[in-house]
Amino acid sequence: MPRLIVVSNRVADIHSSNAASSGGLAMAMAGALKEEGGVWLGWSGETSDDGDGPPQFSTVDNVTLAKIDLSRQHVEEYYNGYANRTLWPLFHHRTDLTSYEQSFSESYLDVNRTFAQAIRSFVKPDDVIWVQDYHLIPLGRELRALGIDNRIGFFLHIPWPARELFVTLPQHSDLVWSLFGYDLVGFQTEKDLTAFRDYFQTELKTQQDDEGLIDLFGRRLLARSYPISINPSEMAELSNTEAAANSFRRMREGNEECKILLGVDRIDYSKGLPNKFAAYNRFLERFPERRGTAKLLQIGQPSRSLVEEYQDLGEELMAEAGRINGRFGRLDWTPLSYHTQSYGRDALAGIYRAADACLVTPLRDGMNLVAKEFVAAQDPADPGVLLLSRFAGAAEQLTEAVFVNPYDKEQTAEAIVQAIDMPLDERQDRWRAMFDTISRSSLTAWKNNFMADLKNEDRPETPDRAEIYAF
């Protein structure tokens, strides 16, 4: 039976469904791999003084983890550098924060070659390889260069950028060319797919068909959208745990008369946290009669703390939370609680359920699984309201959320009022529609749809793979 080999920069603790969230990708892949079984290869998170290491294997049940240590220089230039100071800001349309350093792109290719060599050491002819995210775009091509002819798919967990911004990247054409090493390339949303196709249409004047096939000089690439999700039944189960009951009780105690607005985000500039604080501040200014009747609990999960922009953002949020509390707080009411400790997923399920509304307000986001987790964790009899940025990938599916433009603090402040005042029947109707969407388009469906297309024998082959190896 063919094995599934998943490759991603970060590898989660697959055997703990309760690990503190290390990002949507890691949690989603852990869920998908547990269902399918196979091998998960990624960076160990450790730095080595002796160059990149060989993979270290450990197996529990049906999943083998293969982890590689990376050299200090590669961690700095590939992970902190090209991944998180070049591609991440650029793909999130922050060209003002994007570094275009040649050494970063060289290390990025080096690490992709390290991963390719590691896969070659254990891959079997029938294995299906599924590469994840922007850290590893060139990996398919590197595998082809080593003569690996297996089915290889790629999924991008972040948005694909608008062409005008993407072409500012010195390696833009090389990166796109390298995608032709894959049999299938998946995006989160139709919007991302359209932006990707626009690059071919406008920049390269390429033939494309309605099925998603792109032809370029005899090479073929199938590109489609597959919105990632969660398994709602898993979130419902977590909501029934003791830890969830505890966090639910502690959230509600003393807040019987106070509406709880919740935010759960990695501390990342793409998440729009300063805008969220500004909108909340505006809500308190504009609606003084609401003071003391609502509070914002913002959980900020520390992220990429070796990158300067992330450190600066952490400081800014602490200071802003202090300013809001200093200005509006009273002896018996703290308007904004900002926590940076992490919570297990079971405790988080109780926190979601206890909240009256969740504010998911990224400036740009591939999908945003917090939005889906919040919906799945609600009590159907008394569900909370989802406030969702129109710039989150999830907005394409969760159309019954209350949409906000996070750049518009007036409109976001009004949406907070709308959420607080929303009658029970409207909350139930909106929740039911969103829950049904998530149930239909679950994490299992995402994985199955992608794998079915990747394994599809009828799909036209790239005419001459040798061209890709040589490229």
Q: Which stretch binds ligand F6P (CB under 6 A): 23-31, 274-282, 319-327, 416-424?
A: 23-31
Is residue 81 near ligand F6P by the rule CB under 6 A?
A: no
Nearer to ligand F6P, 158 or 468 (CB): 158
**Binding of residue 300 to ligand F6P (CB under 6 A):** no
> Rounded CA gap, 155 and 182, in Å?
10
CA distance 446 to 189: 12
User: Does residue 77 bind ligand F6P (CB under 6 A)?
Assistant: no
Which CB sits closer to ligand F6P, 74 or 304? Answer: 304
Contact between 10 and ligand F6P per CB under 6 A: yes
Determine if 311 is a binding residue for ligand F6P (CB under 6 A): no
Nearest to 385 by CA among 394, 375, 398: 375
x/- map, 105-144, ligand F6P, by CB under 6 A: ----------------------------x-----------
Among residues 259, 304, 409, 447, the one that binds ligand F6P under rule CB under 6 A: 304
Token readout for 96 is 């003002």
Measured at the alpha carbon of residue 114, what is the angle toward residues 113 and 119, in degrees to the nearest 5?
A: 95
- Three-state SS string over 52-77 comes to CCCCEEEEECCEEEEEEEEEHHHHHH
- In the bound state with ligand F6P, the residue whose beta carbon lies nearer, of 294 and 388, is 388
Query: How distant, in Å, are the alpha carbons of 298, 304, 337, 418 from that of 340?
Result: 9, 14, 10, 28
Candidate ranges 18-26, 254-262, 320-328, 427-435; the one touching ligand F6P (CB under 6 A): 18-26
**Contact pick of 5, 6, 14, 24 for ligand F6P (by CB under 6 A):** 24
User: Minimum distance between the CB of residue 173 and ligand F6P, rounded to whole angstroms?
Assistant: 24
Q: How far is the CB of 49 from ligand F6P (least distance, A)?
A: 22
Cα(135)–Cα(84) distance, rounded to whole angstroms? 9
Q: Is 67 in the site for ligand F6P (CB under 6 A)?
A: no
Q: For ligand F6P, give the closer residue by CB, 24 or 335.
A: 24
Active-site residue, from 74, 92, 93, 157: 157
Distance CA 355, CA 350 (A): 9
29 is a contact residue toward ligand F6P (CB under 6 A): no
6 is an interface residue for ligand F6P by CB under 6 A: no
The residues pairing with 377 across neighbouring beta strands, listed in sequence order, are none
User: Is residue 135 annotated as a catalytic residue, yes or no?
Assistant: no
Interface residue with ligand F6P among 25, 111, 230, 394 (CB under 6 A) is: 25
x-marked contacts with ligand F6P along 150-179 as a string, rule CB under 6 A: -------xx---------------------
Alpha-carbon distance of 49 to 251, in angstroms, equals 45
Catalytic: 365?
yes
> Could you give the string, one character per residue 254-293, with x where binding to ligand F6P holds by CB under 6 A and - elsewhere?
----------------------------------------
Q: Give the nearest residue (CB) to ligand F6P.
A: 23
By CB under 6 A, is residue 234 in contact with ligand F6P?
no
CB within 8 Å of 433: residues ≥ 6 apart? 399, 400
Looking at residues 238 to 257 of the shown chain, list those that interact with ligand F6P (rule: CB under 6 A).
none
Under a CB-based contact definition with an 8 Å cutoff, are residues 370 and 358 in contact?
yes
C-alpha to C-alpha distance for 394 and 190, rounded to whole angstroms: 11
| Contact pick of 303, 325, 342, 428 for ligand F6P (by CB under 6 A) | 303
> Residue 295 or residue 304: which is nearer to ligand F6P going by CB?
304
Least separation in angstroms between CB 133 and ligand F6P: 4
Q: Is 364 in the site for ligand F6P (CB under 6 A)?
A: no
* Beta carbon nearer to ligand F6P, 26 or 370: 26
Label each residue of 199-257 as H, E or C.
HHHHHCCCEECCCCEEEECCEEEEEEECCCCCCHHHHHHHHCCHHHHHHHHHHHCCCCC
Active site positions, annotated:
157, 365
- Give me the residues that bind ligand F6P (CB under 6 A), please: 10, 23-26, 133, 157-158, 303-304
